[in-house]
Structure 1
Amino acid sequence: MTGFNRRTFLQSMVAVAAVPAAPQFASQALAMSRPPRAQYNGPWGRVPEILSAIKLPEIPARDFNLKEFGAKGENEDASAFFARAVEEARKAGGGRIVVPAGKYRTGPIHLVSNTELHVAEGAEIHFIPEPERYLPAVKTRWEGLEMMGYSPLIYAHKADNVALTGKGLIDGGADCDTWWPWKGKNGKCDNSSNEGDTQHPARAALMEDAENHVPVEDRHYGEGSFLRPPLVQFYECNNVLIEGVTLENSPFWVVHPVLCIGVTVRNITTRSHGPNSDGCDPESCKNVLIEGCLFDNGDDCIAIKSGRNADGRRVNVPTENVVVRNCRMRDGHGGLVLGSEISGGVRNVFLEDCVMSSPNLDRGLRIKTNAMRGGNIHDIYVRNLTIGQVKDVIVINFFYEEGDNGDFDPNVYNIQVENLTCEQAERAFHVRGFARAPIRGLQISNSRIKQAGSLGVIEEVTGLTVDDVQINGKPYQPS
């Protein structure tokens, strides 16, 4: 079995990533409205430091072709062949599990250290939507709460150097007859054939377990719980790469790195319009690069998280040092979102040169938390953001869901937005802090919202700075 050494290739990609690439635009009209690129100085000087700290996985130059283990790629159940290929790679010290062109049906795929699942162009992995295949339960995080639950479809736990690459297709198999109806009434699958089993009782029980500090190993939420697994979850891993693949029809969140150090998500497409179909949710991760991706989702495009309520405070690991650039966002509840599972905090986030637009895009930039989630959220920098059509441009909301019903006030400060252009919005701002815990240091500069149905609200903000901002063709200064 032979392969090429990806180490030199991947290291060269880090060097390329440090040089800003030409952004991809949703339309030529949007592209023409963009301001010139700024340099990496001031607070943005941290970006090269973050990129240099990200280590890409080192995968041995050794291939394990799925067809060599008996797979034909003719829509057969290839579960056993995936398992054999991963085990042989493990015994050999690592390598690439190569999925050549063809169609493969399978249950969960569990990767180990020093392995890469490479889905070649023309290859399709279709996960079999039979929940019993995703047992026994594994340690996972579900809506910010740790538990023992259904295995994510592609999963690695405590692995170093792990990758998912290629130009192929990965289909999670979810639709309004499988997985998605477990959400219950959600406006997407109200006419499904589901017999009425939903996640609601188990979700409430899990939240109670977390608040009561039940040990994670005793939180059993597998069969009968109806808590849907994510499509890709790398949990407590170091040096993670997800590159090139197209991911569709996820049961739950699409890409979900948790408690990882060194995460690169590059040039992927997530296309999933089911309930909770977030595109990419780095949670309690450090040193993250998301670039060149297309997100078209039924929920948030990118949602940066760090655990929920008491469980997030127990783990107490923020997401920090995140660079998002040259991405496109279409449908979604939000383009760049922080929260709502944010109790561990988020800091040092840099978004630049992204384009988002859709009549089904609810918000451009959004921070969502409340007095139960809390969270220290600071040093968030956004520049060169081009928005076509959106409902709300900037949202910072302390009243999300439970609102002012808790003892953990959010601590949100130093949010800087510059060079934002929006063609059309229903509302410019929905910014609401608490009187006792206001948002501090919100800065908006050199920005244009060309058409807005209303200005919206900015409440309980101290240190608000607005410089060279126009809305509906007129200079804007909050009263």
Structure 2
Amino acid sequence: MDRTRRRFLAAAAGTAAGAVLAPQLAGRADAATAGTTGSATTGATAGAALGPGASPWARVPRIRRRIRPPRFPRRTFPVTGHGAVGDGTTMCTDAFRQAVEACAAAGGGRVLVPAGTYLTGAIHLADNVELHLEEGATIRFSRDPADYLPVVYTRYEGIELMNYSPFVYAYERTNVAITGSGTLDGQADATHWWDWSGDPPPTEKPDKTLLAAMAEEGVPVAERVFGDGHHLRPNLIQLYRCRNVLIEGVTVKDSPMWNIHPVLCTNVTIREVTVDSPNGPNNDGCDPESCVDVLIERCEFNTGDDCVAIKAGKNADGRRVDAPSENVLVDSCVMRDGNGGVTIGSETTGGVRWVFAWNCEMSSARLERAVRIKTNPDRGGYVKDIYFRDIEVGQAADAVIEVALNYENKDTGPYFPDVGDIDIRRLRAGRAPRAFNLIGNPDNPIRGVRVTDSVFQEMTEEDVVRDVKDLVLRNVWINGERAEAPS
């Protein structure tokens, strides 16, 4: 995203986009809610002192005050000082390792990547280490799976295992960052990594089935060893059980699967990042999973799957870990291609609560949905206290708003998810097949969806609303007519 665009989005905070649609609205609520003083240390207590009747948005300033990027000592360790050569062909894995180790041994600082193209395998960060890419710097990751061994403790689609290392990885670290204006290039394409998602060998499907069975049977994570000889794709960036995380300014592209994946982290800032990965299978932009206190702001996403997807573990393994995602803020982001703009799920087993998204622009002929919640009766968990406002949707290829409890066409199962308390205000959509695709379950309806002061201009198909309790449409217009909730 260019700097002018970022400045525009920052200035737009607290205002509504898409004024051209405003004449169809009878009125609008205040765009900003004043914060309150004080602080809290956990998601459960974040709004305890707000009092009955207070706007849920009054939580946002409290959450935001707790999210503070890490700071690092003013020491610099250029990777070129440890043998790295930015010619695009010299393998620099050892140079990156030595630079990180030297930085950590000194008490922390910045591992500097100067302009140039650096070919490398896995980069593992340490406490108090900032990986900084100067303008003109590209880290180009090797296409050889052997360069991501030995296996590490990781997650694959919500299930823990030992697998190929993510390309940039940190485990149980404090104060870690990836910053700068350079690019992290995963180099995945139809013949490297992405081909594992298909049907002809090599394919990930047998390994996905095996991993799911291991989790259901309670096999210890240390014994769920994949990696060499297997085909479960690693993430580009995964920070696991870390505290105080910053990813800022960089461009990431062409990951084997999910691009940015914080797991079980606390205090995460992802700011002014561009994810440019529209052609890869499962190339989600940013997937905070089982994380608390996350800020995603002024980012641009162009992805082959969901742009932002908030997750919390899957099925038996999600119940074993039992860790929710809470207090996630998505502010002033742009979403282009993708299966969903801001998505929750489908891995919802640990629960997702207190998600706020505002001042986001979403539009593409290949953006399937703008707001999406997906889960099924195998997942369980909960999704509640979800708040969106001031969302501008130029066009979408399917429903503007989707809440579906039958993900992967599963209508029955032993673990019905609890989904409800979803509030959407001042959403303006230009063109899409339908405004709503809301699919609950006769034995487990969606409970509580409120849409207020919103306009859907050019919808070409009938809405789908099934097994939803307490759907409220207040001052909502579809194709120029006031919409009413089904009785």
Superposed pair shares fold, TM > 0.5: yes
Letter of the 1:209 partner, please give it: M
Contact kept in structure 1, 2:21 and 2:455, CA below 8 Å:
no
135, 156, 181: which one aligns with 2:170:
156
Q: Which runs of 5+ in 2 are unaligned?
A: 1-5, 23-27, 35-54
Tell me which residue corresponds to 1:251: 256
Work out whether 1:352 is the aligned partner of 2:358.
yes
User: What is the CA distance between 1:282 and its match in structure 2?
Assistant: 0.1
Gaps spanning 5+ residues in structure 1: where? 1-16, 186-194
| Partner Cα distance (2:18, 2:195) in 1 | 37
Q: C-alpha displacement at 1:280, in angstroms?
A: 0.2
In 1: Cα distance, 2:19 partner to 2:154 partner: 40
Is residue 80 of structure 1 aligned with residue 85 of structure 2? no
1:225 equivalent in alignment to 2:238: no
299, 305, 328: which is aligned to 2:311? Answer: 305
Residues 233 and 255, structure 1, Cα contact 8 Å, conserved in 2: yes
> Aligned partners of 1:357 and 1:57: how far apart in 2?
33
2:11 to 22, 38, 41: 22
Give matches, 1:396-407, under 5 Å.
396-401=403-408, 403-407=410-414
Partner of 1:56: 69
Three-state SS of the structure 1 residue aligned to 2:65 is helix
* Alignment partner of 2:475 out of 434, 451, 468: 468
Contact 1:37 1:384 in 2 (8 A): no
Structure 1 residue 37: Cα displacement = 6.4
Q: C-alpha deviations, 1:382-405, integer Å up to 9, x for none?
A: 000000010211100011115123
Give the direction of change, closer, same or farther, for the CA distance of 1:457–1:31 in structure 2 (3 Å limit).
same
In structure 2, the CA distance between the partners of 1:183 and 1:463, relative to structure 1 (3 Å rule), is: same
Map 1:80-119 onto structure 2 (within 5 A). 80-119=94-133
Structure 1 position 31, deviation (Å): 6.6
CA contact (8 A) 1:105 1:125 kept: yes
> 1:288 is aligned with what amino acid?
V
- 1:77 deviates by 1.6
Partner of 1:274: 280
Write out per-residue CA displacement over residues 89-116 of structure 1, whole angstroms, 9 at most, x where no aligned residue: 1111111100011111000000011001
Q: Does the 8 A contact of 1:126 with 1:172 survive in 2?
A: yes
Query: 1:132 maps to what in 2?
Result: 146
- Aligned-residue offset at 1:29: 9.3
Instruction: Tell me the distance in 2 between the aligned counterparts of 1:202 and 1:224.
Output: 10
Q: Which whole-Å CA distance do the structure 1 matches of 2:97 and 2:269 have between them?
A: 25
Shift of 1:21: 2.7
**Which whole-Å deviations, capped at 9, do the CAs of 1:278-329 have from their partners, x for residues lacking one?**
0000000000000000000000000000000010011010000010010000
Task: Tell me by how many angstroms 1:53 deviates.
Answer: 1.3
What letter corresponds to residue 236 of structure 2 in structure 1? L
Deviation at 1:202, TM superposition (A): 0.5
Q: Map residues 152-301 of structure 1 onto 2, 5 A cutoff.
A: 152-185=166-199, 196-272=201-277, 273-301=279-307
* Cα distance change, pair 29–443 in 1 and its aligned pair in 2 (3 A): closer
| Alpha-carbon distance in 2 for matches of 1:321, 1:196 | 41
Of 459, 464, 468 in structure 2, the residue corresponding to residue 457 of structure 1 is 464
Deviations 1:369-428 (A, max 9, x none): 000001211000000000001021110001111512311111012100000000001111
Deviation digits for residues 250-300 of structure 1 (CA, Å, limit 9, x no counterpart) = 011000000000010000000112000000000000000000000000000
1:141 lines up with 2:155 in the alignment: yes
- Residues matched between the structures, number: 449
1:372–1:402 CA contact under 8 A, matched in 2: no
Contact residue 455 and residue 478 of structure 2 kept, 8 A: yes
> Percent of aligned positions with the same letter in both sequences?
48
- In the alignment, the residues of structure 1 paired with residue 458 and residue 447 of structure 2 have an alpha-carbon distance, to the nearest angstrom, of 27
Instruction: Give 1:80 deviation, angstroms.
Output: 1.4
The alpha carbon displacement at 1:158 in A equals 0.2
1:28-47 equivalence runs, <5 A:
30=18, 33=21, 38-41=31-34, 42-47=55-60
How far apart in 1 are the matches of 2:218 and 2:33?
A: 44
Structure 2 match to 1:368: 374
- Structure 1 runs of 4+ aligned residues shifted over 2 Å read 28-37
SS of match in other structure, 2:135: coil
Partner of 2:41: none
Pick one of 112, 117, 120 that aligns with 2:134.
120
Give the 3-state SS of the residue equivalent to 2:11 in structure 1.
Answer: coil
TM-score scaled to structure 2, two decimals? 0.90
Tell me which amino acid in the other structure corresponds to 2:276: R
Q: Distance in 2 between matches of 1:72 and 1:203?
A: 38
Q: Deviations over 1:423-455 (max 9, x none)?
A: 001111110111222111210000000010123
In the aligned structure 2, how far is the partner of 1:31 from the partner of 1:102?
A: 44
Aligned letter for 1:197?
P
TM-score after normalising by structure 1: 0.91
Question: Partner residue of 2:416?
Answer: 409
1:68 aligns with 2:74: no
Kindly state the Cα deviation for residue 30 of structure 1 after the two structures are TM-superposed. 4.4
User: Does the 8 Å CA contact 1:23/1:354 hold for their aligned counterparts?
Assistant: no
Aligned residue identity for 2:456: I
Query: How many Å separate the matches in 1 of 2:141 and 2:30?
Result: 42
CA–CA distance in 1 between the matches of 2:476 and 2:81?
Answer: 61
Query: SS of 1:282's equivalent?
Result: coil
Q: Secondary structure at the match of 1:408?
A: coil
Match of 1:440 among 447, 451, 462: 447
For 1:393 and 1:477, locate their aligned partners in 2 and report how far apart those are by CA, in whole Å. Answer: 17
Q: Deviation per CA, 1:128-187: give whole Å up to 9, x if none.
A: 1100110110000000000000000000000000000000011001011100000014xx
SS at 2:267 equivalent = strand
